[in-house]
Amino acid sequence: MEFSPVLYIAIPLFAAFLIPLLGKVSKTLVKLTPGIVFLYLSYGSILLFPKAMEKPIVQVVAGFKPPFGISLYYGATAAFLITMVTIVGFVIWLYSYKFIIREPIEKYYMLFMMLITGSTGILLTGDMFNMFVFLEITSIAAYSLTAFLRDKDGAEAAFKYLLIGSFSSTFYLLSVMIIYSYTGTLNFADIAGKIDLIPPMAKGFVLVLVLVGMGIEAEMFPLNGWAPDAYSQAPSPVGAVFGGIVVKAGLYAMIRIVFLFFKTPEVMQFLIFMGILTLLIAEMAAMRQHQIKRMLAFSSIGQMGLVIIALGIGTMGSTSAALFQMFNHALIKSLLFFAAGYLVFHSGSKQIEDLEGLGYDKPVTSFFFAVGALAIIGLPPFSGFWSKLLILVSVAKAGDIAILLLILTGSVIEAIYYLRAVVKLYTRKEVPDNVRRTPISGLVAMGVLAAIILYVGLYPGVIEKWLAPAANNLLNAADYIKAGLF
């Protein structure tokens, strides 16, 4: 059978339904299933990725040609991001293998698979309503995962997430309705061609609704109140899922819609402005956090702000830099969440204060945390350096020195709070003997991520060569329309 893009959605969905059944047979099977799924999906990526880079693959579901049926659009951007999701997903599975020991594990993996389904769906779909469906799948899985530990804090965080998330889906659905009522179509490419049919007023509403609705998913300030709680109360691998997968999909959705329908200088200005606000306020808030996972959450928001700025610049260079930054952030933040997960586990406390001395007691886990911190600050020779450099270059090319300096201000703050946490780890202190060890699967997961981060840092070319087609696919609305409608 030839691998087709629809399998990116179908396989995880199938696995999600299969897992509870397998749970009756054997727990080990449940645990192994996601790994097999990810391996199969990466095999698919290897097959399809080079093709998509040359020419978008558009697949029609259920035999109706676009614009009537639902179509999947596997272009260069989608290919790039889905590959990223696959890598991150695989590592998260590896990490969860020993980390999630609390029952019911089959529910955890089922929700995880649902979430992957939804995210790849968002990235793949060429249909606006279909995107809403996948958005809902992702969100519901994410709410449940937030409350997975079934404690008070988790439930509270999940409830906040649910509250804000429902705004997101409602607003998005409203915008879909408005668009459909004027254009009579739901296909992205088709709408893009007919966007002028919508009167300016309705268009303005759609724009606001999309920006706010998807801005919630993309953690744009001030819509990101859900994020710190959700990140910090969910189990650690779920934090990585949010930072590495969910938010990236949400941001992609927002940017895809904005770039297709509303790419005016004013909107781009607005994105830059919001990006700067998001970045600076998140970094400032992160500096004053006392809990390590909350700090990581705010840092995640800040990084999304940086990506939004780069996307708002809207040049070829800045868009590819933004995609690069998304890729790096997904990997690095996952590494940080993984390490933080076990550090919290070992110290028995979420407070940064209580991490003292762990650097000597748990050297490998702490080392990975330090690597992640250096990488996310943007220090060479790690991958974060290159994406940050490329973003700054593109900002300077756009000629706005003020933005450049604001981004760098954010980076200085970021450097300080990350190093404070790292230095806390390496404060000499007698730690009570702790026989618990970080399991091999967790270490392998972190090791894989650290290796990729270092490798990309030394040979940025391996990622960089795919950035240009991916950015082109995102930026160039005309090409998208042509390919999307055959």
Lookup: tokens for 16: 């999600």
User: How far apart (Å, rounded) are the C-alpha atoms in residues 23 and 170?
Assistant: 35
Find the binder of other proteins among 39, 222, 434, 486 (CB under 8 A).
Answer: 222
Amino acid letter, residue 404: L
By CB under 8 A, tell whether 177 contacts other proteins: no
By CB under 8 A, tell whether 316 contacts other proteins: no
Find the binder of other proteins among 32, 197, 212, 444 (CB under 8 A).
Answer: 212
- Shortest distance in whole angstroms from residue 439 CB to other proteins: 22
Q: Give the footprint of other proteins on residues 380-439 (CB under 8 A).
A: 380-381, 385-386, 389, 392-393, 395-397, 399, 401, 404-405, 408, 411-413, 415-416, 419-420, 423-424, 426-428
- Shortest distance in whole angstroms from residue 404 CB to other proteins: 6
By CB under 8 A, tell whether 216 contacts other proteins: yes
48/191 with CB nearer other proteins: 191
21/412 with CB nearer other proteins: 412
Half-sphere exposure of 132 (CA within 13 A, CB side): 19
User: How far apart (Å, rounded) are the C-alpha atoms in residues 144 and 13?
Assistant: 16
Amino acid letter, residue 344: V
49/360 with CB nearer other proteins: 360
Find the binder of other proteins among 20, 35, 225, 439 (CB under 8 A).
Answer: 225
- DSSP 8-state symbol, 61: S
Find the binder of other proteins among 31, 160, 256, 362 (CB under 8 A).
Answer: 160
User: How far apart (Å, rounded) are the C-alpha atoms in residues 290 and 486?
Assistant: 54
Residue 195: exposure state from Cβ atoms within 10 A (0-12, 13-18, ≥19): middle
205/345 with CB nearer other proteins: 205
Find the binder of other proteins among 106, 190, 229, 361 (CB under 8 A).
Answer: 229
Q: Give the footprint of other proteins on residues 62-121 (CB under 8 A).
A: none
237/457 with CB nearer other proteins: 457
By CB under 8 A, tell whether 20 contacts other proteins: no
- Shortest distance in whole angstroms from residue 56 CB to other proteins: 23
By CB under 8 A, tell whether 460 contacts other proteins: yes
- Shortest distance in whole angstroms from residue 473 CB to other proteins: 18
106/229 with CB nearer other proteins: 229
> Pick from 260, 185, 210, 159: which is nearest to 483 by CA?
260
Do residues 79 and 48 lie in contact, with contact meaning Cβ atoms separated by under 8 Å? yes
User: How far apart (Å, rounded) are the C-alpha atoms in residues 102 and 98?
Assistant: 10
Give the Cβ contact number of residue 396 at 10 Å: 12
> Could you tell me how many residues of this chain bind other proteins (CB under 8 A)?
73
- Shortest distance in whole angstroms from residue 64 CB to other proteins: 33
By CB under 8 A, tell whether 207 contacts other proteins: yes
Give the Cβ contact number of residue 189 at 10 Å: 25
Dihedral sign of CA atoms 310, 137, 56, 211 in order: negative
427/434 with CB nearer other proteins: 427
Select the span of 18-26, 225-233, 341-349, 443-451 touching other proteins (CB under 8 A): 225-233
110/192 with CB nearer other proteins: 192
Q: Give the footprint of other proteins on residues 340-369 (CB under 8 A).
A: 360
104/204 with CB nearer other proteins: 204
Residue 373: exposure state from Cβ atoms within 10 A (0-12, 13-18, ≥19): buried
Dihedral sign of CA atoms 235, 240, 245, 251 in order: positive
By CB under 8 A, tell whether 172 contacts other proteins: no
By CB under 8 A, tell whether 159 contacts other proteins: yes
Do residues 480 and 74 lie in contact, with contact meaning Cβ atoms separated by under 8 Å? no
What residues contact 270, with CB distance under 8 A and at least 6 apart?
211, 312
What single string gives the DSSP state of each residue in 260-298?
HH---HHHHHHHHHHHHHHHHHHHHHHHT--BHHHHHHH
By CB under 8 A, tell whether 178 contacts other proteins: no
> Pick from 309, 327, 316: which is nearest to 475 by CA?
316
Do residues 253 and 220 lie in contact, with contact meaning Cβ atoms separated by under 8 Å? no
Lookup: tokens for 79: 């290919």
Q: Which residue has the tokens 């991916």?
A: 470
- Shortest distance in whole angstroms from residue 412 CB to other proteins: 5
Q: Which residue has the tokens 């933040």?
A: 333
Give the Cβ contact number of residue 318 at 10 Å: 25
> Does residue 107 come out as left (phi exceeding 0), alpha (psi in the -120 to 50 range) or beta?
alpha
Per-position x/- string for 270-289, each x denoting binding to other proteins as judged by CB under 8 A, each - no binding: x----------x--xx-xxx
Q: Give the footprint of other proteins on residues 467-486 (CB under 8 A).
A: none
30/260 with CB nearer other proteins: 260
294/346 with CB nearer other proteins: 294
User: How far apart (Å, rounded) are the C-alpha atoms in residues 175 and 198?
Assistant: 12
User: How far apart (Å, rounded) are the C-alpha atoms in residues 299 and 117?
Assistant: 26
- Shortest distance in whole angstroms from residue 278 CB to other proteins: 12
216/241 with CB nearer other proteins: 216
156/354 with CB nearer other proteins: 156
